[in-house]
Structure 1
């Protein structure tokens, strides 16, 4: 090995047509160490990770140079057969979207067996079952399941088992917990950390979350514009960052408003009219193989001008509740009342008119747009008179000149602003935002949250903000509503969140990483 390192990257440069994305990056990861590569969207994190195993575009449009040493072998000089041996056996790669990275047509067991057999490594079932066990899964539970039949946490663990079934010396974990709730995130990262400590595996953890890096990584390397601007022990980087860009990242990550309102103010808020409410809502999702009770007697009131954060684990019913509130998903039981009217007692024409009183922002803004449309057309289709596209773009902090561009050319934060502009186009009184900051770096996230706070203040919007991140809930909400198994188990001021009494809320709080807490021993 080079200097005892499992991975040693020297002078890595990655160029795409028109620009240099990674510029002379150098980075080393030793055995048993977890190194977090942290940076904003577009800084080159994922492209760096993919270049290490040459998963970049094979057409030649992406040019990679420098040295990438795995042990004593330079990955960039390997032939196709040698590279195939490196992938899987020496380097495991776990992707951000586990379900999308797996073949939906085949079972988890077949994924594992094919990987083992491709390298001629022994008993496929025995090795696969052992890998699943190391990742906290029982082969009996998931071997015959297809990826889409698993929960988010199960799918991510299965993907980790696949990446490590041949026990590689290096694991690249690329944003593997971005869409996971705090409890599941902690379980997955604890598994990765334990494998580094117990099996001596080197881990390159790609993340935009500094708190995650501080809690689970030994070292942090901060990436900006394709260059490592700071690299050192996690605690030291977070306690006293030296690079201006790192200081900006840490400041953005620490910017957590106390949130919530006093009990006295909440009493006063009870006089405000209720704009939207659900009572005893039950929603059962029926598939070919299974039936899921997504909501089970859920109650919620949204009052004029307030911000409500809905939090809970994956599968708790958060997104289903948004669909019910938006009158897009009819409940099997219970009532949905908007503007004092029972939504599902109305004629369809009247229900469509009532829906314009709620604006909807989705987690994946790009997937919610027609890829053929420009920004102007995306927003214009939702306009209900009063102002135009340029005015809406300015209201959400975008240059009106962006109207001519397609959303695919925008950054993640810019796309979410376009989604907000579209949601505001009909002049809603209530904004429903379903995980709109998931996947955004801390700087982009803070800008979106500040924008929502301004819109709420200036335009009197009520906001229902769905998130699995309690740090975001504190930042945006007056009230925090906790869902578990489709029911509301706690409803309290955001300022009282640390005093929550329900076991589910306590579990979410304890699993949520915070800057400054102790990291790896």
Structure 2
């Protein structure tokens, strides 16, 4: 029996462009079906159609049938639709920070949902949902979304989607902000519930490693149509369509980009014995604990680790924006925090920043062109958009109208606008599909080669780290536990690195990647 059947779905956006074009898909009860494809292929529009989240007033129109147990959601009235949302279908959004009310605690989010549906004890149900998603209710119940890390916010959003234990879960890129270890725990839970309770899961993802590891079937989406569908193992090992083969090849990220021919130069940023303590809700957290790191001219360093390991805090310290309680931060031969404020501003101008949550870093009133020109009013916006793989015509649009991947590329364009000496990129490929990732990583490699740009690249995806970096620094609980050449990730010695690596490679790649690392190719 199918928990969900989508028949001949078509979705048009303002201007009459049909983004989803005659899509049909079935999700059996108790099965996990991944809908995979590049940004802009129609994945999220398809997911939103399941619970009719499109706004007709905004010019979005959906036609076709969406059947839940034989009931066509497209023909339900407003009151009937409210009863379906949450109770029969749980929806976890891609951007958890935007989906959660910033002034309401996580506990209140959960409690209000339970009470609205008369589903029993709100505290008990909410706490159980948080625990299923790997969160400590005592820690996050009274927290507001902005007080959580990106990974914690995503898990809280997933708990909210499943608190009523619906028969169908639509998970729209819910693991995008999670490190591989946390990702595995969350997706293991989702799959276990599907097996035990007969829950169906429609897993929206651009990550074929995620799709292959946790989905029973993969449906590949291109230009609004399912071009290929079948068992996950078959799709990854023997893809029939050329476009699917391209996606699988890009997901492997087999060979690192070549490093510049010349050796790295003098350090452009150095930290010594840096200690940073964060204070939230009255409980101090040691974010960095005695960190030593050099980033040299022309060098690319990937900083990896689980959520909460101190990665983003380290970026703030390197940028000269976040003052540590102890230790020194050097920009060349300048002691950043011993310098005058005017000199610190000069240090900050030398760093191009790309933040993890691209949309939150933009002024919502600005067009894309104005967002990019913030860094340098004289910049050629059209040329920068082309350099990051975007249509220059997007310059007149608002960032909120773009896909997650497009927003990340706009953020990268803004960071490059002032011609920085060092690029500090905090999860810049998080929202991108594998093909877009490849373009961004190739761009970074070209910038390093042509301009001698140094790069600090924060990521939880070790495939990306191996692709973009000369060396990888692994953080755990605010400490550097391993610093090794990127090509040797498959043979890392520290348990933390090995755990992160195991969650990033495609299953059938694991043995060959380990051998690659052992031989140092």
TM-score over 0.5 for the pair: yes
1:260, 1:495 within 8 Å by CA — same for their partners in 2? no
Q: How does 1:352-367 map to 2 (within 5 A)?
A: 352-367=345-360
- Cα distance 1:467–1:117, how it changes in 2: closer, same or farther (>3 A)? same
The residue number in structure 2 matching 1:299 is 292
1:212, 1:513 within 8 Å by CA — same for their partners in 2? no
Task: Measure how far apart 1:234 and its partner are.
Answer: 0.7
SS for the counterpart of 2:34 is strand
SS for the counterpart of 1:59 is helix
The residue number in structure 2 matching 1:12 is 9
The residue number in structure 1 matching 2:61 is 63
Task: Measure how far apart 1:377 and its partner are.
Answer: 4.4
Task: Measure how far apart 1:31 and its partner are.
Answer: 1.1
Residues in 2 aligned to 1:355 and 1:458: alpha-carbon distance in whole angstroms: 22
Answering whether residue 320 of structure 2 is matched by residue 324 of structure 1, we say no
Q: How does 1:147-226 map to 2 (within 5 A)?
A: 147-226=145-224
Task: Measure how far apart 1:7 and its partner are.
Answer: 0.7
- Cα distance 1:158–1:455, how it changes in 2: closer, same or farther (>3 A)? closer
CA shift digits 1:186-233 (9 cap, x unpaired): 111111011011111111001111110000000001111111111111
SS for the counterpart of 1:463 is strand
Residues in 2 aligned to 1:418 and 1:152: alpha-carbon distance in whole angstroms: 20
2:154, 2:177 within 8 Å by CA — same for their partners in 1? no
With a CA cutoff of 8 Å and minimum separation of 6, indicate the structure with the bigger relative contact order: 1
1:260, 1:493 within 8 Å by CA — same for their partners in 2? no
CA shift digits 1:480-518 (9 cap, x unpaired): 001111221111101111222222212212222425369
Task: Measure how far apart 1:392 and its partner are.
Answer: 5.2
The residue number in structure 1 matching 2:513 is none
CA shift digits 1:350-401 (9 cap, x unpaired): 222233332222234444344444555444453498x855665566566767
SS for the counterpart of 2:57 is coil
Answering whether residue 283 of structure 2 is matched by residue 286 of structure 1, we say no
CA shift digits 1:106-165 (9 cap, x unpaired): 444433333333223334344444444444445555444444444444443443333223
2:277, 2:288 within 8 Å by CA — same for their partners in 1? yes
Matched residue count: 509
Task: Measure how far apart 1:172 and its partner are.
Answer: 0.9
Answering whether residue 495 of structure 2 is matched by residue 497 of structure 1, we say no
1:252 corresponds to which of 250, 253, 256: 250
Q: Where do 5+ consecutive residues of structure 1 fail to align?
A: none
Residues in 1 aligned to 2:342 and 2:501: alpha-carbon distance in whole angstroms: 43
Residues in 1 aligned to 2:206 and 2:33: alpha-carbon distance in whole angstroms: 13
SS for the counterpart of 1:298 is strand
SS for the counterpart of 2:430 is coil
Residues in 2 aligned to 1:161 and 1:372: alpha-carbon distance in whole angstroms: 32
- Cα distance 1:15–1:122, how it changes in 2: closer, same or farther (>3 A)? same
Answering whether residue 439 of structure 2 is matched by residue 441 of structure 1, we say no
The residue number in structure 2 matching 1:510 is 502
CA shift digits 1:395-414 (9 cap, x unpaired): 65667676666555666555
Residues in 2 aligned to 1:33 and 1:143: alpha-carbon distance in whole angstroms: 31
- Cα distance 1:68–1:374, how it changes in 2: closer, same or farther (>3 A)? closer
Answering whether residue 313 of structure 2 is matched by residue 315 of structure 1, we say no
2:387, 2:443 within 8 Å by CA — same for their partners in 1? no
1:261, 1:494 within 8 Å by CA — same for their partners in 2? no
SS for the counterpart of 1:48 is helix
Residues in 2 aligned to 1:168 and 1:402: alpha-carbon distance in whole angstroms: 38
Q: Where do 5+ consecutive residues of structure 2 fail to align?
A: 511-521
- Cα distance 1:430–1:141, how it changes in 2: closer, same or farther (>3 A)? closer
Residues in 1 aligned to 2:87 and 2:392: alpha-carbon distance in whole angstroms: 50
Residues in 2 aligned to 1:416 and 1:215: alpha-carbon distance in whole angstroms: 26
- Cα distance 1:36–1:493, how it changes in 2: closer, same or farther (>3 A)? same
Residues in 1 aligned to 2:90 and 2:389: alpha-carbon distance in whole angstroms: 41
Residues in 1 aligned to 2:209 and 2:7: alpha-carbon distance in whole angstroms: 27
SS for the counterpart of 1:100 is helix
Residues in 2 aligned to 1:375 and 1:121: alpha-carbon distance in whole angstroms: 44
The residue number in structure 2 matching 1:431 is 423
Residues in 2 aligned to 1:143 and 1:288: alpha-carbon distance in whole angstroms: 12
Residues in 2 aligned to 1:127 and 1:422: alpha-carbon distance in whole angstroms: 44
The residue number in structure 1 matching 2:445 is 453
The residue number in structure 2 matching 1:469 is 461
SS for the counterpart of 2:292 is strand
- Cα distance 1:421–1:171, how it changes in 2: closer, same or farther (>3 A)? closer
Residues in 2 aligned to 1:301 and 1:444: alpha-carbon distance in whole angstroms: 29
The residue number in structure 2 matching 1:44 is 42
TM-score of the two chains, using structure 2 as the length reference: 0.89
Q: How does 1:408-423 map to 2 (within 5 A)?
A: 415-423=407-415
The residue number in structure 2 matching 1:76 is 74
Answering whether residue 341 of structure 2 is matched by residue 348 of structure 1, we say yes
438-447 or 338-347: bigger deviation: 338-347
TM-score of the two chains, using structure 1 as the length reference: 0.89
Task: Measure how far apart 1:260 and its partner are.
Answer: 8.5
Residues in 2 aligned to 1:404 and 1:126: alpha-carbon distance in whole angstroms: 48
